[in-house]
Amino acid sequence: MKQTQMKTFIKTGLMVLFFGFVYVAEPILELKTLNTELQEAALFGVGSDEFEPFKEATGAESLKSKIQWALYIAAGLLILVLAYVFDVASYAQKLTGRKIADANKINAWMLLIFLGVGMYFAAWEFVVHGPETKVYNSSSEHGVDYDNMFMITLIFTAIVFVATQVLLFVYSFMYKKSETRKATYYSHNNKLEVFWTIIPAIVLTILVLRGYAVWKNITYENPNSKNAQEIEVFAYQFGWTARYPGADNKFGAHSFNYISGTNSLGLAVESEVETFKEELKKDTSDYIAKINSIDTYLSELNAKVKDFKKLANFKGVEDTEKEIARVLNGEYKMDLELMLRRRTKQLERMALVEMNKEEYKATFNGSVHDDMITKEIVVLKNKPVKLKFRSRDIIHSAFLPDFRVQMNCVPGMNTEFTFVPTKSTDEIRKEKNNEEYNYYLYCNKICGQAHFNMKIKFVVVETETEYKTWIAAQKPAYPMQLPGSEKEEEINSPVENQVEESVVIIQSNNKKSI
């Protein structure tokens, strides 16, 4: 019974794999025409240092993938053949009545081999990929403490890892079943158990105390928190903008109520807010008008359907009929009412600020007029910087791995991170021997389709003069307007531009044709 089962399984498997193999065999024959380097990279990509992922031609790329498919199938074949051999052994055993392969012994040996090979590859990983991990290569002051903490933890865990894994596999091997021996009856030993409870407890206490010291200094007892240069980092789907406080070193107030097409950060700029209020009011009356004229809208739609039918525009007919259904089941009206409520509430909230004189003054105090909005973050080496995070829509996370910095950006909440960059962009470029290397701040909290593509350049300059030159080149986004002067030219909607940019990027990445 067992025998036939195994055979059916193997036969079916072999058949499937054979056809698969034939299907992909063709590109393998073509492989001869490729140069050997590419073959190596394609087949055993791991070890090759000069492997350049972005420079391969697409033809080779797809070929490569076919080769890999062939590899899986080959692996599958190998497995099945092994299975067959394995079972032939047990078959022979049945026929001859002699033990040819003792599964228990084979497995015991396999465990031992697994331990050896596994440890080798773990070590290999540390040697090959360890250097890529940025440990001991951080570009910030607290990064050094971080790396030390990491190393201590690594040493401790590595010892425990090796010790326990070795014991696990070696015991399994040593005490494999033997007919001549009986297991030792040994059910507990309180002293031993206390011992191995206390040892981890002590080690963990050491780790936790150190971790506490590092964490405290990075966060709530950060010595630089008071004197750091402040920069506001603003996150939105899908991009970042930065705001510098300008000469007065004070950020102008902001509110999500003030966010508009021309005021993407929602800053308290009086003129902007006034025009925006007018827009909102107009929106409100538009919505009211629409709600009151649903009947006319419906007859318009009906007329449209007729027109489309005449033109044989079926897509048009379909869409319009969908819309009619929406109107008829009340969804259309509900949506309008929701929008109306949103606008009215928003106006109410804005009015509340105006009614309270104190608050109004504090909000529109003019410190916004020298604020600068930039599309990259530039900071000075060795000078503490405090990034203050805001989010427009959903949670994002500002992640600067080179600096060991990460903090979530939460709508309706202020978060911040203070640190001291200690390596300028030029230095890191030299160190990495890569003229194009840049620091980036990227998003590390799932936020939608272009999450993987949401970054802003982070530049650390070497000298004060460089920094000053850069700052001088930035223009305030909403300069104080002299009465009668024309409005500044459009420099101030970086957000909208970037949104479009990232969408374009996604599309090109997808090689999508619309």
Partner 1 sequence: MSTTSHLETETHGHDDHHGHEHHKETFISKYVFSMDHKMISRQFLITGIIMGCIGVFMSILFRLQLAWPSESFGIIETFLGKWGKDGILDPNFYLALVTIHGTIMVFYVLTAGLSGTFSNLLIPLQIGARDMASPFMNMLSYWFFFLSSIVLISSFFVETGPASAGWTVYPPLSALEKAMPGSGLGMTLWLVAIILFIVSSLLGGINYISTVLNMRTKGMSMDRMPLTIWSFFFTAVLGLLSFPVLLGAGLFLIFDRSFGTSFYLSDIYLNGIGALDNVGGSPVLYQHLFWFLGHPEVYIILMPALGITSEVIANNARKPIFGYTAMVISLLGISFLSFIVWGHHMFITGMNPFLGTVFMFVTLIIAVPSAVKTFNYLATLWKGNIRFTPAMLFAIGLVSLFITGGLTGIYLGNAALDIQLHDTYFVVAHFHLVMGSASIFGMFAGIYHWYPKMFGKMMNNTLGYFHFWLTFISAYVVFFPMHFMGLAGVPRRYYEFTLVPEFGIWMDVNVVITIAAIVGGLAQVFFLYNFFVNIFKGEKATQNPWQSNSLEWTTPVEHIHGNWPGPLPVVYRGPYEYSVPGRELDYYPQNIPSDGEDDIHHTETVKVDEPTIETPTTEVDSSKVLFASFAKLFGLNRA
> Interface with partner 1 includes 214 (CB under 8 A)?
yes
314 binds partner 1 (CB under 8 A): no
- When asked if residue 315 is in the footprint of partner 1 (CB under 8 A), the reply is no
Counting residues that bind Cu ion (by CB under 5 A) gives 4
Instruction: Work out how close the CB of 447 gets to Cu ion at its nearest, in angstroms, rounded to a whole number.
Output: 3
How many angstroms separate the CA atoms of 466 and 471, rounded?
9
Of the candidates 277, 343, 386, 423, which one interacts with partner 1 according to CB under 8 A?
A: 343
Contact 409, 391 (CB under 8 A): yes
- Per CB under 5 A, the list member of 447, 456, 460, 477 interacting with Cu ion is 447
Residues 446-465 that bind partner 1 (CB under 8 A): 446-455
Among 20, 27, 31, 215, binds partner 1 (CB under 8 A): 215
Each residue 121-160 as x (binds partner 1 by CB under 8 A) or -, in order, gives xx--x---xx-xxxx---------xx--xx--x--xx--x
Q: Count the residues in the chain.
A: 514
> Under the criterion CB under 5 A, does residue 405 sit at the interface with Cu ion?
no
Q: Considering the rule CB under 8 A, would residue 196 count as an interface residue with partner 1?
A: yes
Residue 182 interacting entry, from partner 1, Cu ion, none, C-beta within 5 to 8 Å by type: partner 1
Residue among 116, 218, 234, 111 nearest 173 (CA)? 111
Quote the least distance from Cβ 76 to partner 1, whole Å. Answer: 6
Beta-bridged to residue 236, according to DSSP, are: 239
Token readout for 160 is 């425990």
- Confirm if 344 and 280 have CB atoms less than 8 A apart: no
Cα separation, 162 vs 183, in Å, equals: 26
Which stretch in 26-34, 353-361, 396-404, 465-473 sits in contact with partner 1 by CB under 8 A?
A: 396-404
The correct pick among 134, 333, 375, 451 for binding Cu ion (CB under 5 A) is 451
Is there a contact between 280 and 347 (Cβ–Cβ < 8 Å)? yes
200's tokens? 């981890």
As measured in angstroms, the least distance from the Cβ of 308 to partner 1 is: 22
Is 394 among the residues that bind partner 1 (CB under 8 A)? Answer: yes
Residue 487 DSSP label: P
Inter-residue contact 336 to 317 (CB < 8 Å):
no
Q: Which stretch binds Cu ion (CB under 5 A): 66-74, 106-114, 318-326, 443-451?
A: 443-451
- Stretches 171-179, 323-331, 361-369, 468-476: which one binds partner 1 (CB under 8 A)? 171-179
By CB under 8 A, residue 339 contacts partner 1: yes
Q: Residue 359 phi/psi, 5° resolution?
A: -65, -40
Using the rule CB under 8 A, is 178 a contact of partner 1? yes
Select from 245-253, 307-315, 398-406, 469-477 the region that touches partner 1 (CB under 8 A): 398-406
DSSP track, 263-302? BTT-B--HHHHHHHHHHHHHHHHHHHHHHHTHHHHHHHHH
Rule CB under 8 A: which of 251-290 touch partner 1?
A: 255-257, 259, 266
Do residues 393 and 285 touch, judged by C-beta distance below 8 A? no
Site string for Cu ion, 375-404 (x = CB under 5 A): ---------------------x--------
Q: Which residues pair with 409 in a beta bridge?
A: 396
Per-residue tokens: 195: 């011992």
Residue 150: exposure state from Cβ atoms within 10 A (0-12, 13-18, ≥19): middle
Q: Which of 29, 57, 95, 201 binds partner 1 (CB under 8 A)?
A: 201
Comparing CB distances to partner 1, the nearer of 303 and 505 is 505
Binding segment for partner 1 among 74-82, 292-300, 352-360, 365-373 (CB under 8 A)?
Answer: 74-82
Residue from 24, 70, 108, 305 that binds partner 1 (CB under 8 A)? 108
Contact between 77 and 17 (Cβ < 8 Å):
yes
- Structure-token match 């529109």, residue found: 364
Gap between the Cα atoms of 263 and 493, Å rounded = 7
> HEC profile for 424-473?
CHHHHHHHHCCCCCCEEEEECCCCCCCHHHCEEEEEEECCHHHHHHHHHH
Q: Which is nearer to partner 1, 72 or 314 (CB)?
A: 72
In the complex, what is the shortest distance from the CB of residue 454 to Cu ion, in angstroms, rounded to a whole number? 5
The residues of the shown chain that bind Cu ion, judged by CB under 5 A, are 396, 443, 447, 451
